[in-house]
Amino acid sequence: MIDAPAADAPVVVEIRQLWTSFPSAGGEQVVHRDLDLTIRRGEVLSLVGGSGTGKTVLLRQILGLEHPSRGEVTVLGQHPGQLGAKGAAKVGMLFQHGALFSAFSVLDNIALPLRELKLLPDDLIRDAALVKLQMVGLDPQQANKSPSALSGGMIKRVALARALIMDPPLLLLDEPTAGLDPESADGFCDLLRSLHRELGLTVVMVTHDLDTLFDLSTRIAVLADQHVIVSGLPREVIACEHPFIRNYFLGGRGLRAMEALHDVPAVAAAADPER
C-alpha cells in the first residue's frame, strides 16, 4: 500500500448526507442514502462495493456530470457543477470503459479536453498532449495511431493521459485495471504509483481487482446498504462484520491477495476468529 497522508491534510472531496435516487418501474430506486465521505489531499482512496451499488454514479457526481437528489458534494470547497469549464482542470477521470473516440487519433483523444476550452493555439495543445503521452510511458510514435490499433493496456494509458491533460489535482479512476492481463495490470499500477508520487495527486479509485486495491490504496471505503459502511486500512475494514466484506475480502481470492500484506496475522485472525 502507499503511505497515507497526514490526518490533517487539506480536504479535497467532502460528501455530506448524500442521497441519490432514480425513477424505476416500482417507483423509486434509492442508490445512495445518507452517504458521508471525506477525502484528503494525497490519499488514494479505493471504493469497493457490489455491482450496482452506485460507485460509478458517485464518481460522476464528484466530477459534476450528475447531481445528487439531496445532500452535498464539494471538491476543493466548491460544488462540482459550479466549477464549469474550469472543473475539467480540477478533476480528471478515467472512465470505466476507456471511452476513447475511435475516429480520433491517440494524440487527438488526449488533446480533446484542452481543445474544447479553446484557450490555447493548436501547436501548444499538441505539445501538451505529447508530453502527457510520454508521461504515461508511451512512445511518440503511437501519437497518430487509431485507438483500434492499441492493446488494452495502451488504451488505458491513453485514457489516463487524457484525464491528466489539464494537470488536475484530483484524479478519478473507474476500474483502471479491469480487462488487463496481470502483467499489464502490474505495469499500470506502477505507473499510477509513480504519477501519484511525482504529481502529488489525490486519487479516488473504484476497483474490483484485489491486487490493484492492495497495491495502491492508502484507504479503502466500502459501499454497501446505500452508504459507506466502513473506511480505513485493510485490517480495519475486514474487522467489520458485514456479509459483503466477509465474502469479498475473506473468500479465497481475497485471502490470497492479502497474504502479500504485512499485517497477515490480523487478516488470519479475522478470517478465523478461533485462532
Ligand X SMILES: Nc1ncnc2c1ncn2[C@@H]1O[C@H](COP(=O)(O)OP(=O)(O)OP(=O)(O)O)[C@@H](O)[C@H]1O
Per CB under 6 A, residues contacting ligand X are 22, 31, 49, 51-57, 96
* 56, 223 contact by CB (below 8 A): no
Nearest to 60 by CA among 24, 22, 101, 102: 22
Sheet containing 70-75: give its strands across. Answer: 27-40, 11-24, 70-75
Query: Least distance to ligand X from the beta carbon of 114, Å?
Result: 28
Question: Is the Cβ of residue 56 or residue 142 nearer to ligand X in the bound state?
Answer: 56
Residue 56 sits in the site that holds Mg ion (CB under 5 A) = yes
* 43, 202 contact by CB (below 8 A): yes
Q: How far apart are CA 138 and CA 140, in angstroms?
A: 7
Query: Least distance to ligand X from the beta carbon of 259, Å?
Result: 25
Say how many C-beta atoms besides its own lie within 10 A of residue 183's C-beta.
9
Q: How far apart are CA 161 and CA 105, in angstroms?
A: 13
Question: Is the Cβ of residue 59 or residue 114 nearer to ligand X in the bound state?
Answer: 59
Question: Is the Cβ of residue 108 or residue 209 nearer to ligand X in the bound state?
Answer: 209
Say how many C-beta atoms besides its own lie within 10 A of residue 170's C-beta.
20
Find the part of the chain contacting Mg ion (CB under 5 A) among 9-17, 54-62, 77-85, 142-150. 54-62
Query: Least distance to Mg ion from the beta carbon of 61, Å?
Result: 13
Per partner kind, with CB cut-offs from 5 to 8 A, the member of ligand X, Mg ion, none near residue 54 is: ligand X
Say how many C-beta atoms besides its own lie within 10 A of residue 150's C-beta.
18
Question: Is the Cβ of residue 67 or residue 197 nearer to ligand X in the bound state?
Answer: 67
Per partner kind, with CB cut-offs from 5 to 8 A, the member of ligand X, Mg ion, none near residue 57 is: ligand X
Find the part of the chain contacting Mg ion (CB under 5 A) among 1-9, 53-61, 99-107, 235-243. 53-61
Cell numbers standing for residue 248: 469479498
- In the stretch 6-45, what mask flags binding to Mg ion with x, by CB under 5 A? ----------------------------------------
| Residues found near Mg ion in the complex (CB under 5 A) | 56
